[in-house]
Amino acid sequence: MAKRKEENFFSPENAKRPRQEELEDFDKDGDEDECTVSFTNGTSTLTAAEVGIIESIHLRNFMCHSMLGPFKFGSNVNFVVGNNGSGKSAVLTALIVGLGGKAVATNRGSSLKGFVKDGQNSADITITLRNRGDDAYRANVYGDSIVVQQHISMDGSRSYKLKSETGAVVSTRKEELIAILDHFNIQVDNPVSILTQEMSKQFLQSKNEGDKYKFFMKATQLEQMKEDYSYIMETKERTKEQINQGEEVNEIEKQLNAIRDNIKIGEDRAARLDRKMEEQQVRLNEAEKKYKDIQDKLEKISQETNARAPECMALKADVTAKKRAYNEAEVLYNRSLNEYKALKKDDEQLCKRIEELKKSTDQSLEPERLERQKKICWLKERVKTLQDQENSINQEIEQFQQAIEKDKEEYTRIKGEELDVKHALTYNQRQLKELKDSKTDRLKRFGSHVPALLEAIDEAYRRGHFTHKPIGPLGACIHLRDPEHALAIESCLKGLLQAYCCHNHADERILQALMKRFYPPGTSRPQIIVSEFRNEMYDVRHRAAHHPEFPTVLTALEIDNAVVANSLIDMRGIETVLLIKNNSVARAVMQFQKPPKNCREAFTADGDQVFAGRYYSSENTRPKFLSRDVDSEISDLENEVENKKAQIINLQQHLSALEKDIKHNEDLLKRCQLHYKELKMKIRKSISEIRELENIEEHQSVDIATLEDEAQENKIKMKMVEKNMEQQKENMEHHKSLKVEAENKYDAIKLKINQLSELADPLKDELNLADAEVDNQKRGKRHYEEKQKEHLDTLNKKKRELDMKVKELEEKMSQARQICPERIEVKKSASILDKEINRLRQKIQAEHASHGDREEIMRQYQEARETYLDLDNKVRTLKRFIKLLEEIMTHRYKTYQQFRRCLTLRCKLYFDNLLSQRAYCGKMNFDHKNETLTISVQPGEGNKAAFNDMRALSGGERSFSTVCFILSLWSIAESPFRCLDEFDVYMDMVNRRIAMDMILKMADSQRFRQFILLTPQSMSSLPSSKLIRILRMSDPERGQTTLPFRPVTQEDDDN
């Protein structure tokens, strides 16, 4: 019944121990351990409801109202308050009718046309249901809301429109609405979901104990289960009567009817086969078209990639050359710039010196001046020498940097190669371990869990869990005629070698459950093929490939089990795949000339796959499952493992050498950079000394003309350097633009090639899938063609048999009319008549022993006896089926009784605990035999008052007890929303407050449900909460067509 585990809304201090009388009553019905009821404390942490609750209702011309709504309900507690006639009950009635309920279920009318407002032609009801979260119904179609719109005509007919959140009409069928209600578990006719005033009066206010029991059964849906069981038992009895009657039917007429039924079924099946053939042909055409499209795309991408590869290489070389030219131009430009700056500074100092000398008149320091000039000349020569060394060191730095970059690229490449070899070594070591394990048990080649799985399958089969014992792995059921074909056959069958075969889907589910024990979640499991087991292998002679030299996969294998052979034919079409050892011969057979008839593909001894227009190389180099010489495989693998280890050692030595080279070059680079810095410091120091010497104020007489000549030469040199610098700058900018342009071109074509490669990889996978799909569709088409041919032959045979039986019946009836013109109905059974016929035949045989044809009489007797035995066998089969059905129904009825007892105890415990909220005690007695429910309540203390029938209570106490009963049913039944109409109408203020607190407490603990409560009270004393929404309806005014309502709550979080 319940789909969710509910957190109870009781606190431990209010929870009482069930009284001994109740537990004793339950023990009379069954064991208490068959169900448990627990009470927990704390506020519910459940989130708001996501599916099935009412978001809004809108009414037009419904009952006496022209327009109501739209009402927007909250996700938890909703109070619809208003005086009588304001439209509260109309909303509840519209909810029942709008969700497909019958008119009589509302107790407001016997026909839908009674709900159309007087003077109007139709009425409309629009209900919006929430459809969010993981449990949403067809969320991709409807969205977050489902709009149910119902149109009621004056003649009582109604129509539906089921719309999505955006207003698009999705369906107009009532079956879709029923599916939505079933998905959300909405039961509009269940009083637990919607309790009207009339339903409350009929059941809850009734003094009849039988009515209360009916209300309990209807609320828990036990009544529907009981009716279903009764219907099954009635159907079984009718079947037994038909079997008894069938034994009295004339045997020839029975044969005719059976043949006619078989022919009708056969014709229907032939029509279905025709439709399946057409559907299969459409799917085959689609698969072939998809395959061709993917192949064209892949070829186009491959051609484009191959066409761009030379251009990419040329652009890469061009980028490298232009980058080198740009670097050289940049070095020349920087050198000219530094030279120009130095000359400019020299010019400024010369000009300043000339001015100083012109102003100086003291010529007494001529020797010192000459000494300074001599030193300056020596320093300039030294600076020039140092600058030459600086250029040389700079070139060495560039060479070392290029060498280091090259070594690092080589290191990265070798490192990647080392990782690839390590991965291959790990795979080979794992494969070597599996091979060594398989020496003791060949089945371990198909997986370490396979022996244990097969033992579990044997045990399950011994216990009768399987109809037929599953067969597998298929690779263990086949044997090679030629060991050289091992890799080719493995490449062809692939995962089918580890697959298993089951007779039906029930066996498949059991096998899946067994596999879960041996294959952890996240790991791949073997494939399970479901196909009816046959004792004979398919006849594939007319559709198999034939070649005078090369075998097919089917003929290259020794398969003792027909089920294995049929499965491989169905799944892989092994009768159409050739095995050609030599690669070039395979290309010649499949591509250079027309492939053999019925041949789709071929495999070589290396495992390569060859099609008429394609060739795919195998990724494997040796067989894994089918090799016979395990020792040789182990030896080869050990050699390969050793080779991989040696290769890894060589790669690591190479990496070590590269690391040493890189470290050595980095050390030399650091030395050069340090030397470069030292030269820079020396140059700066010499230039600084030159400047200091030139800046010393000389009081000696100098040759101003010489300095002026030097200054003039310096200016000329500056102009030349400046001109050269401009040329170098232009040259550098030119090379830079060329470099950027080349890099852009290279990056663009490299990006394009990468994009093409990314496009090609999934297309290759799609191509393989499409190829397999084409093969599957072709096999499916051939399968249906054979089935159709076989079925038509059987159908024609049945028709011929029918004609013969009709003629036989006419002859028999003609012979019978000669004896007796009128047909006589007999009351004897077929067995008695059979005995009489045998006795008469014996007399006839005795009379005609010397005259009659004894062989003809015996043949007729044998035919009649075989017919009788066949019918008798069918009757016994039906009797066994009925006996099995009786056993199943007995077991299910016992389960139904246990379930009923469980719900009964839960209802008792919830009811007693709810009464304790007000210090009441109560008792509920269920009499399932007489179908009565007695409720006794004691308002006072437990030991001071006697249990009273609810009829002896006051109106407020009886209403409070009734609310407790309803809340008990709410706790054991399931529905996304609960609607209650005027629940507090007979309560005083104290009982109303207590009942209201209980309902709000339950609503707070069950935030995933929606509560809609209708009351004429104002509800002004309710606490302020986002979970509570009050819809206050105004009294209708004279001539009013639209009924206003005013929501009283905080901001609604749901809208």
Q: What is the pLDDT of residues 79-119, one digit of tens each?
A: 888 877 777 888 888 999 999 888 877 777 778 888 898 88
Count Cβ atoms below 10 Å from residue 755 Cβ, excluding itself.
Answer: 12
Q: What is the pLDDT of residue 351?
A: 82
Count Cβ atoms below 10 Å from residue 132 Cβ, excluding itself.
Answer: 16
Q: Which of 93, 89, 98, 103 is nearest to 151 (CA)?
A: 98
Q: What is the pLDDT of residue 57?
A: 94
Is there a contact between 728 and 329 (Cβ–Cβ < 8 Å)? yes
Q: Looking at per-residue confidence, does 1011 or 918 come out higher?
A: 1011
Residues 890, 893, 894, CA angle at the centre, nearest 5°?
85
Is there a contact between 203 and 195 (Cβ–Cβ < 8 Å)? no
- What is the residue-averaged pLDDT of the chain? 78
Averaged pLDDT for residues 565-574 = 91
Is residue 632 pLDDT above 50, yes or no? yes
Which of 19-23, 386-390, 596-600, 750-754 has the weakest average pLDDT?
Answer: 19-23
Is there a contact between 524 and 599 (Cβ–Cβ < 8 Å)? no
Which of 3-7, 322-326, 549-553, 944-948 has the weakest average pLDDT?
Answer: 3-7
Count Cβ atoms below 10 Å from residue 378 Cβ, excluding itself.
Answer: 12
Is there a contact between 718 and 340 (Cβ–Cβ < 8 Å)? yes
Q: Looking at per-residue confidence, does 587 or 709 come out higher?
A: 587
Is residue 12 pLDDT above 50, yes or no? no
Q: Rounded CA gap, 1004 and 996, in Å?
A: 12
Tell me the pLDDT band of 829, cut-offs 50, 70 and 90.
low
Q: Which of 141-145, 204-208, 858-862, 1002-1006 has the highest mean pLDDT?
A: 141-145
Is residue 248 pLDDT above 50, yes or no? no
Share of residues in the chain with pLDDT > 90 (%)? 14
Q: What is the pLDDT of residue 250?
A: 53
Which of 289-298, 694-703, 752-761, 785-794 has the weakest average pLDDT?
Answer: 694-703
Q: Which of 207, 211, 210, 187 is nearest to 199 (CA)?
A: 211
C-alpha distances in Å from residue 447, one per residue of 192, 210, 426, 429, 474: 55, 64, 17, 15, 13
Q: What is the pLDDT of residue 17?
A: 37
Q: What is the pLDDT of residue 831?
A: 67
Q: Looking at per-residue confidence, does 371 or 131 come out higher?
A: 131
Q: Rounded CA gap, 814 and 125, in Å?
A: 68
Q: Which of 199, 192, 80 is nearest to 1017 (CA)?
A: 80
- Six-digit token pair at 703? 């040759």
Q: What is the pLDDT of residue 215?
A: 80
Averaged pLDDT for residues 764-782 = 73
Q: What is the pLDDT of residue 1040?
A: 47
Q: Looking at per-residue confidence, does 197 or 514 come out higher?
A: 514
Q: What is the pLDDT of residue 25?
A: 41
By CB atoms closer than 10 A (0-12, 13-18, 19+), residue 468 is middle
Q: What is the pLDDT of residue 440?
A: 61
What pLDDT, in 10s, does the model give residues 118-175? 888 999 999 999 999 888 999 999 999 999 999 999 888 899 999 999 999 999 999 9
Q: Rounded CA gap, 438 and 432, in Å?
A: 10
Q: What is the pLDDT of residue 791?
A: 76
Tell me the pLDDT band of 738, cut-offs 50, 70 and 90.
confident
Q: What is the pLDDT of residue 27?
A: 38
Which of 369-383, 676-690, 930-944 has the weakest average pLDDT?
Answer: 930-944
Is residue 238 pLDDT above 80, yes or no? no
Pairing verdict, β 932-938 and 948-949: antiparallel
Share of residues in the chain with pLDDT > 70 (%)? 80
Q: Rounded CA gap, 306 and 681, in Å?
A: 55
- Tokens 């011994």 correspond to 462
Amino acid at residue number 357: L
- Six-digit token pair at 716? 């000329």
SS3 939: coil
Is there a contact between 556 and 579 (Cβ–Cβ < 8 Å)? yes
Angle between helix 222-246 and helix 209-219 axes, rounded to 10 deg: 90
- Six-digit token pair at 913? 């605990």
Is residue 569 pLDDT above 50, yes or no? yes
The residues with which 480 forms a beta bridge, in sequence order, are 557
- Six-digit token pair at 992? 């109303």
The residues with which 938 forms a beta bridge, in sequence order, are 921
DSSP 750-768: HHHHHHHHHHHHHHHHHHH
Half-sphere exposure for 789 (CA within 13 Å, toward CB): 5
Q: What is the pLDDT of residue 629?
A: 63
Q: Rounded CA gap, 1052 and 1047, in Å?
A: 10
Is there a contact between 78 and 1013 (Cβ–Cβ < 8 Å)? yes
Q: Rounded CA gap, 7 and 850, in Å?
A: 93
The widest CA-to-CA distance across the chain, in whole angstroms, is 181
What pLDDT, in 10s, does the model give residues 894-907? 888 888 888 889 88
Contacts of residue 447, defined as CB under 8 A and 6 or more positions apart, other chains included, come to 473, 498, 526
Q: What is the pLDDT of residue 574?
A: 92
C-alpha distances in Å from residue 205, one per residue of 1, 202, 963, 979: 26, 6, 11, 18
Q: What is the pLDDT of residue 702?
A: 47
Is residue 363 pLDDT above 90, yes or no? no
519 secondary structure, DSSP code? S
- Six-digit token pair at 592? 């250079």
Count Cβ atoms below 10 Å from residue 870 Cβ, excluding itself.
Answer: 12
Q: What is the pLDDT of residue 43?
A: 37
Which of 163-167, 434-438, 526-530 has the weakest average pLDDT?
Answer: 434-438
Averaged pLDDT for residues 682-688 = 85
Q: Rounded CA gap, 966 and 131, in Å?
A: 27
Q: Rounded CA gap, 727 and 735, in Å?
A: 12
Is residue 601 pLDDT above 80, yes or no? yes
Tell me the pLDDT band of 438, cut-offs 50, 70 and 90.
low
Count Cβ atoms below 10 Å from residue 804 Cβ, excluding itself.
Answer: 11
Count Cβ atoms below 10 Å from residue 328 Cβ, excluding itself.
Answer: 14
Pairing verdict, β 65-72 and 1042-1043: parallel
Q: What is the pLDDT of residue 251?
A: 56
Q: Looking at per-residue confidence, does 235 or 833 come out higher?
A: 235
Which of 130-139, 365-374, 416-425, 609-618 has the weakest average pLDDT?
Answer: 365-374
Averaged pLDDT for residues 463-490 = 90
Tell me the pLDDT band of 42, cut-offs 50, 70 and 90.
very low
What pLDDT, in 10s, does the model give residues 705-727? 677 777 788 788 888 888 888 88
The residues with which 479 forms a beta bridge, in sequence order, are 558
Averaged pLDDT for residues 790-812 = 78
Contacts of residue 1013, defined as CB under 8 A and 6 or more positions apart, other chains included, come to 77, 78, 79, 80, 979, 980, 983, 999
